[in-house]
Structure 1
Amino acid sequence: MMGAVHGPQGQRHILVADLGFGDAGKGATVDRLCRSGGVAAVVRFNGGAQAAHNVVTPDGRHHTFAQFGSGTLHGVPTHLSRFTAVDPLALAAEADHLRSVGVPDPYALLGVDRDAPLTTPYHAAAGRLRELARGAARHGSCGMGVGETTRYALAHPGDQPTAGDCSARPRLLRRLRLLRDRLTDELGPLGAPPVEACAEAYTAFARAVRLTDGTRLRELATRGGLVFEGAQGVLLDEWHGFHPYTTWSTTTFGNAETLLAEAGAAGEGLRLGVVRTYTTRHGPGPLVTEDPELSAALPEPHNGHGRWQGAFRIGHFDAVAHSYAAEVCGGVDALAVTHLDAPRRCRGLRICRAYGIDGALVERLPAGPPGDLVRQAELTGRLLRAAPALWDTPGRDPRRWSEAIGSLLGAPVLLESSGPARQRVNDLRSMGKSKYLSGKGSALSV
């Protein structure tokens, strides 16, 4: 079904965030938003090369987007903001695959903020060594060095290699050597390539892409709508997630709203939360509604056991956790509900509306201020003792599931997906949501 995304008056931009632990369908959602034009760029606003946003086109092409925006197959440019960690080596491999699925010159569609931190083989090696040292208490790292990139930047402000350094070889070499030596002194041999080899690849990267400054987003915003594509999920947020099973990244809408304000469009973004009809997560940490029997009924063609992340786990839809996610990210304007074919494939799929924790019925998880990791760790401890206590069973009709999820999370459902390439966009005007009506020329056409 073709239609238009109608944002609030004057709103032309869409901010996309996953309200779970990741893997809810952000890639397919962004791909759908970009399908019919009107999008000037996809802006990545957190995370790095560990993103795995799967897009399957109607003609059967498949690509797992990591750093390129998920609108690339439609020729939509990508802007990697300063809030994303850039891995040029992983980017080259991704560009190669994009060429194989019909994108002739992926780098021509890519712009990178000079201040974006650089993820290197030294970061990846250090992150893996730290995870191995945790033994049975592993956090579920992706093993790609994105968290280590943030950790190093915080520990050594001013020394973190950046994308801009790739065009300034002397500074790049100095920072890479300092990074390698510090991490080696702390953790031992890293088993990573020589600095000179990395520098050679990074200078080639700088020649291939467009390195930009802070004015680029304002320029893009004057050309059309922007789609801000988040990575991972709000329940993994560095401040609001279930510590310590979290990411070193702000996964809420916060970074996207900062960038939008800097582009001169503060408040002009529709906040779109993405959820599946069931709840999933990679690796260790709380998953209150986990049901091992669902794995056989709902096989995952693009997700499985990861060497560093651990097992891919499946549970029933967790309205308590997803409502918490919506609250800590400041609320959502609309929802994208994916995997609406699952209730028909799995008769026993349900919605958990409340937990039992230490003999008490819990229908809502209270949100706390950012930065209180002791509080978040205590919340994690409670969730590890929780069990589902109150259920809804919408049945097998996708419409009932869409209505139930929208009602529980307090937002209209804008986009519905029943498969990797089967999606429809709802007209929020027909749902009585007048605040979503757009002014002339202000809607993203999808």
Structure 2
Amino acid sequence: MGHVIVVDLGYGDCGKGTVVDHLCATRDVHTVVRFNGGAQAAHTVVLGDGRKHTFAQFGSGTFRPGVRTHLSRFMVVDPLALAAEADHLVGLGVHDVWDRLTVDRAALLSTPYHREANRAAELARGADRHGSCGMGVGAAMSYALSHVDDAPRVSDCLTPSVLRAKLSRLRAFLGVDGPPVDACVEAFVAFAATVSIVDGLRIEGPCVFEGAQGVLLDEWHGFHPYTTWSTTTFANAEALLGGEPAYRLGVLRTFTTRHGAGPLVTEDPALRITDPNNPTNPWQGAFRVGHFDAVAHRYALDVCGGVDGLALTHLDTAASNPALRMCVDYDGTVPTRGVTGDLDRQERLTHAMLASRPRLVPVSSASSWPAAISAELATPVVLESWGPRSEDKTSTDSTPSSTPQLTC
């Protein structure tokens, strides 16, 4: 087995966690590498014995014995949220979670002060909220861009005096409430004493690179300003690989969803599809559902440079919802790739997307969805998921001989 990079080709929530878990359950995986985002990720994994965990910072293969997690330099690490997540995993019987974790010393830290600033900014937007998760990741990225040398990083947890000075300046700059700086320093120093802090990724075996959020939320290619402060394409993972080859696996649902504000051209409340793992919440807002948007997903494939194969999830939902259809075109603007970094152009595209309407076509049955999506996106579906567990997934033999096989 070689390396696999798992990327969501939607607005997030397509099922990356369950796909990563399946890869780790059925293949020889040494390490799951997190290569973007932070504690705002929510990748739910359900085991055959009923145990369930929503992975945020630990890799979604952590239920599988021996599979390690590496939080790369592209992550925004929240030590407090990480400790809470570890406690939940230990309670589920995964007692060696800390022993199987490495954290890059260059990764940014997310603190309670970032979280307070993040939430205050979102509340101040009122009806124009962007749909933030309210975890402070965006505030941490923003502060790091404007205060390069002062942004707290994982390595600072090894030097309490440096960490204290950085946190004091951060709190004063943001002008927010929160716990005393000394309390944060104590907690973060304890974090440094618990985890293995390393200098870069050391590849010791086959890796699964687990992305967060989705390509349609990418900081440069998403529909600004309803985006994440993160590169959600394959770019970070490929930078970590340093030229080593990897299988590029894109994940999609049989229907297109969005958690919070922003364009969702195929939205249709009449579908009445809910997701217990993605409820409406005070920060992201409503969990929205629409028909499969082949136009938006083609755009995602374009901006990320294509994939070797697709993992298609929620086929069981398609089986119980025959009203689901596929959008093959828009009555309005069809998104096209622009120059990376041109956020004004992306914002204009957002306004055009909000005014577009879908042209929908039927799909004859749930079993027809993989072939229909493969044909519409000109990409093979190599993994089908008919439920939340690894046992509910099957590899397909429809991969053309010219495409690397993904055998589970």
TM-score by length of 1: 0.89
Residue in structure 1 matched with residue 365 of structure 2 by the alignment = 396
Q: Does 1:94 find its partner at 2:80?
A: no
Residues 321-380 of structure 1, C-alpha deviations (whole Å, 9 max, x = no match):
0110010001111100000011221110000001101xxxx5x42111210001000100
The secondary structure found in structure 1 opposite 2:291 is strand
- Which residue type is aligned with residue 279 of structure 1? T
CA distance in structure 1 between the partners assigned to 2:274 and 2:260 by the alignment: 17
The secondary structure found in structure 1 opposite 2:305 is coil
The secondary structure found in structure 1 opposite 2:392 is strand
- Which residue type is aligned with residue 145 of structure 1? G
Q: Does 1:229 find its partner at 2:210?
A: yes
Aligned residues: 406
CA distance in structure 1 between the partners assigned to 2:159 and 2:16 by the alignment: 35
Residue in structure 2 matched with residue 281 of structure 1 by the alignment = 258
Q: Does 1:84 find its partner at 2:75?
A: yes
- Which residue type is aligned with residue 66 of structure 1? A
CA distance in structure 2 between the partners assigned to 1:397 and 1:180 by the alignment: 52
Residue in structure 1 matched with residue 60 of structure 2 by the alignment = 70
After TM superposition, give the deviation of residue 191 of structure 1 in Å.
2.5
Residue in structure 1 matched with residue 45 of structure 2 by the alignment = 55
- Which residue type is aligned with residue 282 of structure 2? R
The secondary structure found in structure 2 opposite 1:43 is strand
Superposition CA RMSD, Å: 1.4
Contact 2:387–2:393, Cα closer than 8 Å, also in 1: no
CA distance in structure 2 between the partners assigned to 1:244 and 1:431 by the alignment: 37
Residue in structure 2 matched with residue 367 of structure 1 by the alignment = 337
After TM superposition, give the deviation of residue 427 of structure 1 in Å.
5.2
Contact 1:32–1:423, Cα closer than 8 Å, also in 2: no
The secondary structure found in structure 2 opposite 1:172 is helix
Residues 9-33 of structure 1, C-alpha deviations (whole Å, 9 max, x = no match):
xxx1101110000000000000000
Residue in structure 1 matched with residue 221 of structure 2 by the alignment = 240
Equivalent positions of 1:62-211 (< 5 A) are 62-75=52-65, 76-184=67-175, 190-211=176-197
After TM superposition, give the deviation of residue 58 of structure 1 in Å.
1.0
Residues 56-99 of structure 1, C-alpha deviations (whole Å, 9 max, x = no match):
01111100000000000003100000000000000010001001
**Larger deviation: 414-423 or 325-334?**
414-423
Residue in structure 2 matched with residue 423 of structure 1 by the alignment = 392
Residues 18-49 of structure 1, C-alpha deviations (whole Å, 9 max, x = no match):
00000000000000000034111000000000
- Which residue type is aligned with residue 394 of structure 1? V
Contact 2:98–2:194, Cα closer than 8 Å, also in 1: yes
CA distance in structure 2 between the partners assigned to 1:318 and 1:37 by the alignment: 31
Residue in structure 1 matched with residue 317 of structure 2 by the alignment = 342
Residues 412-436 of structure 1, C-alpha deviations (whole Å, 9 max, x = no match):
11211011014334255x6432441
Contact 1:289–1:317, Cα closer than 8 Å, also in 2: yes
Q: Does 1:34 find its partner at 2:24?
A: yes
The secondary structure found in structure 2 opposite 1:352 is strand
The secondary structure found in structure 2 opposite 1:152 is helix
CA distance in structure 2 between the partners assigned to 1:278 and 1:267 by the alignment: 33
Contact 1:334–1:414, Cα closer than 8 Å, also in 2: yes
Partner of residue 308 from structure 1, selected from 280, 283, 293: 283
After TM superposition, give the deviation of residue 294 of structure 1 in Å.
1.8
CA distance in structure 1 between the partners assigned to 2:293 and 2:244 by the alignment: 29
CA distance in structure 1 between the partners assigned to 2:132 and 2:369 by the alignment: 32
CA distance in structure 2 between the partners assigned to 1:144 and 1:397 by the alignment: 37
Residue in structure 2 matched with residue 187 of structure 1 by the alignment = none
The secondary structure found in structure 2 opposite 1:79 is strand
Gaps of 5+ in 2: none
Residue in structure 2 matched with residue 8 of structure 1 by the alignment = none
Residue in structure 2 matched with residue 256 of structure 1 by the alignment = 237
Residue in structure 2 matched with residue 291 of structure 1 by the alignment = 268
- Which residue type is aligned with residue 352 of structure 1? C
Higher relative CO (Cα under 8 Å, sequence separation at least 6) belongs to 1
CA distance in structure 2 between the partners assigned to 1:237 and 1:183 by the alignment: 25
Q: Does 1:414 find its partner at 2:393?
A: no
The secondary structure found in structure 1 opposite 2:26 is coil
CA distance in structure 1 between the partners assigned to 2:221 and 2:365 by the alignment: 33
- Which residue type is aligned with residue 337 of structure 2? A
After TM superposition, give the deviation of residue 272 of structure 1 in Å.
0.5
Q: Percent identity?
A: 57
CA distance in structure 2 between the partners assigned to 1:71 and 1:394 by the alignment: 33
Residue in structure 2 matched with residue 440 of structure 1 by the alignment = none
CA distance in structure 2 between the partners assigned to 1:277 and 1:81 by the alignment: 31
CA distance in structure 2 between the partners assigned to 1:161 and 1:290 by the alignment: 40
CA distance in structure 1 between the partners assigned to 2:321 and 2:183 by the alignment: 51
CA distance in structure 1 between the partners assigned to 2:279 and 2:297 by the alignment: 22
CA distance in structure 2 between the partners assigned to 1:171 and 1:74 by the alignment: 37
Structure 1's consecutive aligned runs of 4 or more residues displaced over 4 angstroms after TM superposition are none
Partner of residue 268 from structure 1, selected from 239, 245, 252: 245
Distance 1:431 1:252, change over 3 A: closer
Distance 1:292 1:435, change over 3 A: closer
Equivalent positions of 1:2-13 (< 5 A) are 12-13=2-3
After TM superposition, give the deviation of residue 108 of structure 1 in Å.
0.8
After TM superposition, give the deviation of residue 201 of structure 1 in Å.
0.5
